[in-house]
Amino acid sequence: MAITAPEQPGTLPEDARGVLAAARAETAAADRAEARKLQLAVQWAVIHPAESVEDAETYTFRSGLEGVIPIAGPGAPLVAEFSVAEYAAALGLSTEAGKHYLGQAVELRYRLPRLWRRVMAGDLAAWKARRVADATIGADLTEAAAAFVDTHVAPVAHRIRPTALDRLVEEAIGRFMPDTAEQRRHDGLDRRHFTIDRDHVSFDGTAYVTGELDLADAIDLDDAVRHLAGQLADLGSEATLDQRRALAVGELARRQLTLDLTPPEAGGSRSEVEVRAQRATKPPAHTRTPVRKTVLYLHLTDHALTSTGDGIGRCETTRAPITATQIRDWCGHPDTHLVVQPVIDLNDHVHVDQYEIPHRITEHVTLRDLTCVFPHCTRPARRLHPETHGCDHDHIRPYADHPETCSHGIAPLCRRHHRHKTHGHWHYETPEPGTYLWTSPHRYHYLRDHTGTTAIDPADDNPPEPDPPTRH
């Protein structure tokens, strides 16, 4: 395929030297802009200090009122909690990402002053300094430890590698935080883990598994997997060795062939060697007990369900598309307990004459919006894992003013952004179901719908005046 000329000739350099010079100039301009953004982030924190929050000393999370939060390491100033969301929205970031960016800026300004001066002088790219700030915040370094890192990193920050930075942070902890260093040493004695990544499921319905095991356990697992993979081949499986090993792990999980839960005999406990010896000699059980406990929320259209082709469905648990064939395989497995829910028409308008929101409305709203509807938030509306919570279901208009509960007047908001709406001077309305027009405390506007978040105010130098603060 031939490379074509630019659509607008004359706007770009035509020779190699000119392209390189222009690229260098644009990079320098981008670095200056990023340094300016860090300055503005610090200024935003200065404008919203802890002292700006009324009754901060009596704040509790249960009250829902605004509090003050740390965004950088010890010794850095605290900021007003609700101020973070508006700055994040202005940058097109989620609230958590905006808090992270503000924290990096404040960390550099107040705890890593040598790095800050290099960035402000145009001598160091902002992203390289932010990487160091990430390391010092993540390690929760004391002021003395952070100063040590700043002193040693600042002269070489433009070329230091992540591994060298990590070693320097570890040295700072050892020098200035001996109790923390000892605790980390004890915590690091056992790095064993077995992790199944359920958040990044492939289109084909597979997931990554990683682990670090005791050598004896790893050998036992490898022997069991190899044995079952061989059995699958003997039974006529045409899958490759790697595929049969993957299938064997699933069979091990369902059959629990090597699990020994025999209690110790009276009068003493068995050693680990004895337990392993009994496990090695005990014949495998042949009973098959359904053990699958994973809950998957799967969605299929009638066409994908009935077609002979490979239609596309959606796995709500992982928020990823999945083939109809894979869904059929999962549902057809003998260990699967299948629950079929009635189809919900998202165009229906469901009303009830009560404040409490019934399940048929919350389910309707969850399927329509999928996530919290605050600008840039992606927290799932449904509680998908036992260790997480789902979104609150909020009356868009106060029930006291409009005593009606209906599917068009309810929206999912995660707990954090529900508090911002209730106590943080954010307001929203719904032009149509599933579309939300948000107004920030400084009267910027954001449109949130199924495509994402769009800032609808022009980017100019005359922002609207904020509404006067009020307390509800």
**pLDDT tens digits for 159-170?**
888 988 998 998
Helix/strand/coil for 79: strand
What is the separation, in whole angstroms, between the first and last Cα of the chain? 64
Rounded CA gap, 326 and 321, in Å?
11
Element (H, E) at 409: none
pLDDT at 131: 96
Rounded CA gap, 230 and 9, in Å?
65
Phi, psi of 316 (to 5 degrees): -65, -30
Rounded CA gap, 77 and 297, in Å?
44
What is the 3 state secondary structure string of 208-242?
Answer: CEEEECCHHHHHHHHHHHHHHHHHHHHCCCCCCHH
Rounded CA gap, 372 and 418, in Å?
9
Nearest to 13 by CA among 68, 5, 64: 5
Could you report the per-residue pLDDT of 48-97, keeping only the tens digit for each? 998 877 644 433 444 567 778 899 999 999 999 999 999 999 999 999 99
Element (H, E) at 410: strand 410-413
Q: Return averaged pLDDT per consecutive 10 residues of the chain, 472 residues in all.
A: 59 86 91 96 94 54 69 92 93 94 96 96 94 95 95 92 90 88 73 84 84 76 89 90 91 66 51 50 49 61 66 68 70 72 80 88 90 91 66 90 89 93 93 94 92 79 52 39
pLDDT at 472: 38
Alpha helices in 78-214, H assignment, sequence order: 83-90, 95-111, 113-120, 126-138, 143-153, 162-176, 178-187
Cβ neighbours for 186, distance < 8 A, ≥ 6 positions apart = none
Rounded CA gap, 433 and 423, in Å?
24
Residue type, 402: H
Checking 23-30 for CB contacts under 8 A at 24+ apart, the result is 28/122
Nearest to 228 by CA among 254, 208, 204: 254
Report CA dihedral (109, 114, 115, 119) to the nearest 10 degrees. Answer: 80
Rounded CA gap, 256 and 25, in Å?
63
| Joined tokens for residue 265 | 């005999």
The answer to whether the beta carbons of residues 126 and 104 sit under 8 Å apart is no
209-212 and 193-196 as β-strands: parallel, antiparallel, unpaired?
antiparallel
- Share in percent of the chain as helix, strand, coil (round to 5): 45, 10, 45
Could you report the per-residue pLDDT of 245-294, keeping only the tens digit for each? 999 998 888 776 445 555 555 554 555 445 445 554 455 544 444 444 55
Residue linked to tokens 């908001």: 413
Nearest to 248 by CA among 233, 260, 259: 233
The answer to whether the beta carbons of residues 321 and 314 sit under 8 Å apart is yes
Report CA dihedral (96, 100, 105, 106) to the nearest 10 degrees. Answer: 90
Supply the pTM of this predicted model. Answer: 0.67
Report CA dihedral (146, 152, 153, 154) to the nearest 10 degrees. Answer: 100
The answer to whether the beta carbons of residues 298 and 328 sit under 8 Å apart is no
Rounded CA gap, 314 and 370, in Å?
12
